[in-house]
């Protein structure tokens, strides 16, 4: 197979990521990302294919002379954390919010940062050279024993982010998605003094994200109401994103979390440049809310690594995505669902306010309609092809509406998004754009 990096590493059906390919990919990563320390840290989520891919990665890295530190099941941000604190490259085996049948590999450069487009291109080229030789490395059977104590270093960084404050008195429901947060999230919240009710923390290799977690938060929402909890947190499979539920069970998304934290940080004088960075998918209500609170918004293309690039280049320290990837750049090098959840709960504790009150005062979401259109092949220039249709609808919606049409970075799929003051208006506009995409792409 040929490597195709999307917006967050390489990902596909687990069977497509065969041992030979993964070992060669590891060799390429060692040559492109390795540094003088001669070490790599490798983690994975709870998918049944994870141990096989871990072994293949280890073989490819070791043949290039690198020592591999196997972390076992850990959140993606734990790999980034150790990569940053120890200045070594890392790899995370995960397909994030996808079903267990998929898997993928994300790389971090030494220092804990995701790869730039230029580095990914270099890695692809090196992989092609390795694959062209026709030689394949043998991958042995067996399971590597991780160093369980390493995860404590990550836990400590989350706890230390509160600078001695605690979460005593808060009752919190956590949905771990049967994924990488299953142990660490309850452990950290418990260490901070919260009363924790745990859902979906019994991974079996196949139930990751299965009707649970941030892609299916319904169980969490019901549990918050049933247990009369103060809030709920729903992670995805590798725990680099989080959504919340308020005390009434209403969902609180990444836009709202970023908005609340931005206002809080601005008020405390810790929001660098009084600016946040978000992607084009953030709700128009977020932009209007930030304008009302005199906070600037920098917009990027979809992908948390592009948000990170905007934070780095502008010297800012808060940004993220509507999906729940939130980056506190002064506290971490990448999106971290657990860190985000802890910061949100800390805000609730310090303010003494309900989460619903904090969210509604930060921003008011406008109805947003999202539709996906499968096409014969990826259409990078789809917005240009239907620019007349887009312009017509934007003119009708005016300043209280917004349109976004973009190609998926990983699939032959076009995503259509429309925001308007009324959902019926947004839905009709989205249907018109779907028809326009189908007209030119199929």
Active site residue 408: no
215 DSSP assignment: G
Segment 288-301, tens digit of pLDDT: 999 999 999 999 98
Strand order in the sheet with 413-419: 368-374, 413-419, 402-407
Paired with 235 in beta bridges are: 242
Task: Name, in order, each residue with C-beta under 8 angstroms of 20's C-beta and a sequence gap of 6 or more.
Answer: 56, 136, 137, 139
Mean pLDDT of 66-73: 94
Tokens 């990302």 belong to which residue? 33
202 exposure class (CB count in 10 Å sphere: 0-12, 13-18, 19+): exposed
Confidence of residue 7 (pLDDT cuts 50, 70, 90): low
Q: Which of 83, 94, 96, 408 is catalytic?
A: 96
Does the structure show a pLDDT above 70 at 4? no
Question: What would the DSSP string read from start to end of 377-413?
Answer: S--TTHHHHTHHHHHHHHHHHGGG-EEEEEE-SSSSE
* pLDDT, position 141: 75
Task: Name, in order, each residue with C-beta under 8 angstroms of 383's C-beta and a sequence gap of 6 or more.
Answer: 390, 405, 406
> Which contiguous run of DSSP H or E holds residue 361?
helix 355-362
Q: Is the dihedral of CA 107, 109, 115, 117 positive or negative?
A: negative
7-21, 227-241, 250-264: which range is least confident on average?
Answer: 7-21
Mean pLDDT of 197-214: 98
Mean pLDDT of 194-202: 98
Superfamily of 368-441 according to CATH: Alpha-D-phosphohexomutase, C-terminal domain (3.30.310.50)
**Contact present, 315 and 272 (Cβ < 8 Å):** yes
* pLDDT, position 48: 97
**Contact present, 365 and 283 (Cβ < 8 Å):** yes
Does the structure show a pLDDT above 60 at 193? yes
Task: Name, in order, each residue with C-beta under 8 angstroms of 422's C-beta and a sequence gap of 6 or more.
Answer: 367
Does the structure show a pLDDT above 80 at 390? yes
* pLDDT, position 422: 93
Mean pLDDT of 333-342: 97
423 exposure class (CB count in 10 Å sphere: 0-12, 13-18, 19+): middle
Helix (H, G, I), strand (E, B) or coil at 285: helix
- Among residues 170, 144, 340, the alpha carbon closest in space to that of 239 is found at 340
For CATH 3.40.120.10, list the domain ranges present in the chain. 10-147, 170-251, 253-362
* pLDDT, position 2: 53
By DSSP bridging, strand 171-175 and strand 231-235 are parallel
Superfamily of 10-147 according to CATH: Alpha-D-Glucose-1,6-Bisphosphate, subunit A, domain 3 (3.40.120.10)
Q: Is the dihedral of CA 58, 60, 62, 65 positive or negative?
A: negative
* pLDDT, position 139: 80
Confidence of residue 5 (pLDDT cuts 50, 70, 90): low
* pLDDT, position 272: 98
Does the structure show a pLDDT above 90 at 200? yes
Mean pLDDT of 322-348: 97
* pLDDT, position 143: 64
Per the prediction, the chain carries an average pLDDT of: 93
Segment 167-185, tens digit of pLDDT: 999 999 999 999 999 999 9
**Contact present, 161 and 339 (Cβ < 8 Å):** yes
* pLDDT, position 185: 98
- Among residues 354, 419, 409, 399, the alpha carbon closest in space to that of 224 is found at 354
Q: Is the dihedral of CA 268, 340, 183, 194 positive or negative?
A: positive
Segment 118-169, tens digit of pLDDT: 999 999 999 999 999 988 887 877 667 777 778 999 999 999 999 999 999 9
What are the angstrom distances between the C-alpha of 354 and each of 79, 98, 245, 288, 347? Answer: 33, 32, 11, 22, 10
* pLDDT, position 335: 95
* pLDDT, position 8: 66
Mean pLDDT of 234-248: 98
Confidence of residue 36 (pLDDT cuts 50, 70, 90): confident
The CATH number of 170-251 is 3.40.120.10
3-state secondary structure string across 234-278: EECCCCCCEEEECCCCCEECHHHHHHHHHHHHHHHCCCHHHEEEE
**What token pair was written down for 258?**
């970023």
Does the structure show a pLDDT above 60 at 63? yes
Query: CATH fold of 253-362, please?
Result: Alpha-D-Glucose-1,6-Bisphosphate; Chain A, domain 3 (3.40.120)
For CATH 3.30.310.50, list the domain ranges present in the chain. 368-441
* pLDDT, position 145: 76
- Among residues 55, 27, 114, the alpha carbon closest in space to that of 79 is found at 114
Number of C-alpha atoms within 13 angstroms, CB side, residue 384?
3
Interior/surface letters 393-407, b for 16+ CB within 10 angstroms, e for the rest:
beeebeeebbbbbbb
């Amino acid at each position: 197979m040929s490597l195709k990096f999307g917006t967050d590493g390489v990902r596909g059906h687990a069977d497509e990521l065969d041992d030979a390919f993964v070992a060669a990919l590891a060799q390429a990563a060692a040559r492109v990302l390795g540094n003088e320390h001669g070490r790599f840290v490798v983690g994975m989520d709870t998918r049944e294919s994870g141990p096989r891919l871990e072994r293949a990665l280890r073989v490819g890295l070791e043949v290039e002379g690198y020592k591999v530190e196997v972390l076992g099941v850990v959140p993606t941000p734990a790999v980034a954390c150790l990569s940053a604190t120890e200045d070594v490259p890392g790899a995370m085996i995960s397909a994030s919010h996808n079903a267990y049948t998929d898997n993928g590999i994300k790389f971090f450069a030494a220092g804990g940062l995701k790869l730039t487009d230029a580095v990914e291109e270099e890695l692809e080229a090196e992989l092609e050279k390795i694959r062209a030789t026709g030689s394949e490395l043998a991958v042995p059977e067996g399971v590597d024993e991780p160093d369980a104590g390493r995860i404590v270093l990550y836990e400590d960084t989350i706890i230390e982010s509160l600078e001695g404050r605690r979460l005593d008195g808060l009752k919190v429901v956590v949905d771990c998605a049967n994924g990488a947060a299953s142990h660490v999230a309850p452990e950290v919240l418990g260490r901070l003094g919260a009363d924790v009710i745990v859902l979906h923390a019994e991974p079996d290799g196949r139930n990751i994200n299965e009707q649970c977690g941030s892609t299916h938060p319904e169980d969490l929402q019901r549990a918050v109401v049933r247990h009369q909890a103060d809030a709920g947190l729903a992670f995805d499979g590798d725990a680099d994103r989080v959504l919340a539920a308020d005390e009434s069970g209403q969902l609180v998304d990444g836009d709202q979390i970023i908005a609340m934290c931005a206002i809080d940080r601005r008020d405390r004088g810790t929001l660098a440049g009084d600016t946040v960075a978000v992607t084009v998918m953030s709700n128009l209500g977020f932009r209007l809310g930030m304008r009302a609170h005199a906070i600037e918004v920098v917009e990027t293309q979809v992908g948390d690594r592009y948000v990170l690039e905007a934070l780095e280049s502008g010297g800012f320290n808060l940004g993220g995505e509507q999906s729940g990837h939130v980056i506190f750049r002064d506290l971490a090098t990448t999106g971290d669902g657990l860190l985000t959840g802890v910061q949100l709960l800390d805000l609730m504790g310090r303010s003494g306010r309900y989460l619903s009150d904090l969210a509604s005062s930060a921003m008011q979401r406008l109805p947003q309609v999202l539709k996906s259109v499968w096409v014969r092949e990826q259409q990078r220039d789809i917005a240009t092809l239907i620019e007349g249709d887009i312009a017509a609808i934007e003119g009708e919606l005016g300043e209280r509406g917004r349109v976004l049409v973009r190609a998926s970075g990983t699939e032959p799929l076009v995503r259509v998004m429309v925001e308007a003051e009324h959902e019926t208006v947004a839905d009709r506009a989205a249907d018109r754009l779907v028809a326009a995409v189908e007209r030119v792409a199929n």
